[in-house]
Amino acid sequence: MSARILSGNAIRDQIYAELAGEISSLAAAGIKPGLAAVLVGDNPASKVYVNSKIAACGKLGLASFHITPPATISTGELLGIIEDLNARDDVDGILVQLPLPSQIDSKKVLEAVDPAKDVDGFHPMNVGHLVAGRPGLVACTPAGVMEILRRSNVPIEGANAVVLGRSDIVGKPQALLLLHASATVTIAHSKTKDLKDVVRRADIVVAAIGRPAMVTPDYVRPGATVIDVGINRINDAKLAENFFANFPERLAEFQKKGTAIVGDVHPDVASVAGAFTPVPGGVGPLTIAMLMSNTVKAARMRRGSRAPLAASSRT
C-alpha cells in the first residue's frame, strides 16, 4: 500500500484563490483588511514565521503592520502596544508571535487582544464560542486540518478520530472541531494507557504531540488518514538514518545540510496509511492560509461588510 499524499500547498492555493475574490469584494466596498504582527525580540525562528505571514499578506493584497519591540520590553509596555492596535481602525487582525520573553506574562498579553481582532483564535471568548459551536475566530492550525480533510474528501461524520496531543493551541480546539463535524473523538496524550492501541483504532489520526517521528507504522490502522501537525528539527545522524532509511533522497539531503525538518509521524507510516500529510508541505501552509482567512473574516465581521463569504472562511 502507498498512501495518498495530501498536499497542503495545493489546498493553500485553493483557499488563496477563493480569498482573492472576497478581498476584491471588500476592496470594492472601500475595505482593505489589515493584519498587525507583533514580534518581540529577535528569535530567528519567530522571525521566519512572521516574515512568511507578512509575505502572505503582500501576496493577497492585505495590509500588514510589523511591530518589533525589543526583547527587554515589560508586560505593561507590551499591553500598551496591544491597546493601541485594538483602537486602530485599519487593523482588523492582531497576532502576537510566541514564544514571548520570560519576563512577559503571555496569558495576560494574549487576553488583552480584542476578541474581534484575535486572528490566532487564542482569546478565551473565541475559545468559548468554539466550545458552544458559535461563529467566531478559530485557531489557525486546527482550522487548517479541517480544510485538508474536507477538501481531500476524507469522511469525518461518524469516523473514529484520535487527536494525539492536548495543547490549547492545537489538540483541544482540534478535538472540538472534529466533534462539531460529527466525528467520535478521543484525545490521547503522553499519559494515555495503551497509547498505541488507542491510536490504532482511529480512522483519522491528528498527531500534535511534539515528538519527532513518534507515530510509527504499528500505531496506524491500515487505510487510516494521518494528519501530521508536528514540526521538529533534527540534527542527529543516527536519527536521520532511522527516519529516512526508506527515503534515500531525504537522507541524502540531511547528509548534505546536517539538519532536517520532520513531523510527529515516522515517514514509514506512508506504507500503512490510506492518506497522510507530509512534513514539510502538509499542515504548515494551511496554518498561514487560515490566518489570512481569519483576517479577512475579522474585517468582514468588524466592519459589517456584506461581501460574499469565501468557502475557506466557513467554520
Active site residues: 53, 97, 120
The string of DSSP codes covering the chain is --PEE--HHHHHHHHHHHHHHHHHHHHHTT---EEEEE--S--HHHHHHHHHHHHHHHHHT-EEEEE---TT--HHHHHHHHHHHHH-TT--EEEEPSPPPTTS-HHHHHHHS-GGGBTT--SHHHHHHHHHT-S----HHHHHHHHHHHHTT---TT-EEEEE---TTTHHHHHHHHHHTT-EEEEE-TT-TTHHHHHHT-SEEEE-S--TT-B-GGGS-TT-EEEE---EEE--HHHHHHHTTT-HHHHHHHHHHS-EEE-SB-GGGGGT-SEE--SSSSHHHHHHHHHHHHHHHHHHHHHT--PPPPGGG--
> In DSSP terms, which residues pair with 261 in a beta bridge?
233
